[in-house]
Amino acid sequence: MIDLHCHSTISDGVLPPADLVRHAHGRGIRILSLTDHDDLGGLEEAREVAESLGMHFINGVEISVLWHERTVHIVGLRIDPQHAPLREGLAAMREGRILRAEKIAEELAKSGIHDALQGAYRYSQGNIISRAHFARYLVELGHAKNTASVFKRYLVKGKPGYVRHEWASLATALEWIHGSGGIAVLAHPGRYDMGKQLLKQLIEEFIQLGGRGIEVVTGSHRPEQFNTFAQIAQQYQLLSSLGSDYHGKGQSYIDMGSLPSLPTNCQPIWHDWPEYHQVSQQ
């Protein structure tokens, strides 16, 4: 079984990279990619543990992009974590996250929620600071029962704690990924707040910039969206990807190892990967 999208404590997951890999192994995953948001810091540890367990490990990252005033996520697979423009670009994004976090805390304070910056940093433990960490602090304060319900009432456009943020451009994110020898995948296309026409424009621009993959089966798609995006992948001759987007128990839509296979009309993004051919020969 394969999982090409998940998060560790290096970004906003709750398991450290080593524990995440052990969890994936226990759930039957044999080819795994760790795709932390805007950070490559977990790849070495994850690879070491994965290989010690006889799994195949794929270097990955999930890059935050601002496109037409919307946040879009691009997963980079098979990237080279030593590629300087990618490393430096992501380091700058992490700096930007620190400034955004200060603004988020100021916005929350205007709504009577104080000390959110310290609260969120307690959850991020010196790693990347994310809205997910603010969400966990808001749950702790009793403002919502879980992180998913926080995002219905806070931290999103029009709600307390929202801050617009200038992420990487689509072109820049793809340049970093391709420059490092990776493949770019449009993450969870069913989750964006955009109509059909704008989504079509996003996909066409993504392809024009050299994007090759699209997530068809992900933990954050509803089952009927698997077929919708399988058809879109076929229509645009995009390679299909599959990943849980696991962030830890109680944080995610679905556990690892419980997603269905790709619909049969999909060309899997791993079809020509040596790791896949090794696993299927076992």
Nearest Cα to Cα of residue 92 among 167, 156, 155: 167
Q: How far is the CB of 11 from Mn ion (least distance, A)?
A: 6
d(CA 3, CA 5): 6
Could you identify the residue written with the tokens 């700058």?
Answer: 92
Q: Answer with the entry of ligand AMP, Mn ion, none that 178 interacts with (C-beta below 5 to 8 A by kind).
A: none
Question: In terms of CB distance, is 56 or 73 closer to Mn ion?
Answer: 73
Is 36 an interacting residue with respect to ligand AMP (CB under 6 A)?
no
Closest CB to Mn ion among residues 39, 62: 62
Q: Which of ligand AMP, Mn ion, none does residue 64 bind to, with CB < 5 to 8 Å depending on kind?
A: ligand AMP
Indicate whether 132 belongs to the interface with ligand AMP (CB under 6 A).
yes
Could you say whether residue 12 binds Mn ion (CB under 5 A)?
yes
Structural tokens at position 195: 């109509």
User: Is residue 48 classed as helix, strand or coil in its secondary structure?
Assistant: helix
| Residues sharing a CB contact under 8 Å with residue 201, sequence separation 6 or more, in sequence order | 68
**Residue count, binding to Mn ion (CB under 5 A):** 5
| Three-state secondary structure of 184-241 | EEECCHHHCCCCHHHHHHHHHHHHHCCCCEEEEEECCCCHHHHHHHHHHHHHHCCEEE
Residue 52, Cβ neighbours under 10 Å: how many? 12
Residue 151 near ligand AMP by CB under 6 A: yes
Q: Could you tell me which of 203, 221, 225 has the C-alpha nearest to residue 213?
A: 203
Binding residue for Mn ion, selected from 221, 245, 248, 268, defined by CB under 5 A: 245
Q: How far is the CB of 259 from ligand AMP (least distance, A)?
A: 17
The position carrying tokens 């997963």 is 75
221 binds ligand AMP per the rule CB under 6 A: no
Q: Please report how close the Cβ of residue 217 comes to ligand AMP at its closest, in angstroms.
A: 18
Site for ligand AMP in 49-78 (CB under 6 A): 64
Q: In the range 180-199, which residues lie near Mn ion by CB under 5 A?
A: 187
Query: CA angle, corner 130, sides to 195 and 133, nearest 5?
Result: 115
Quote the least distance from Cβ 35 to Mn ion, whole Å: 6
User: Which residues lie near Mn ion (CB under 5 A)?
Assistant: 12, 62, 73, 187, 245
Binding site for ligand AMP (CB under 6 A): 12, 37, 64, 130-132, 147-148, 151, 247
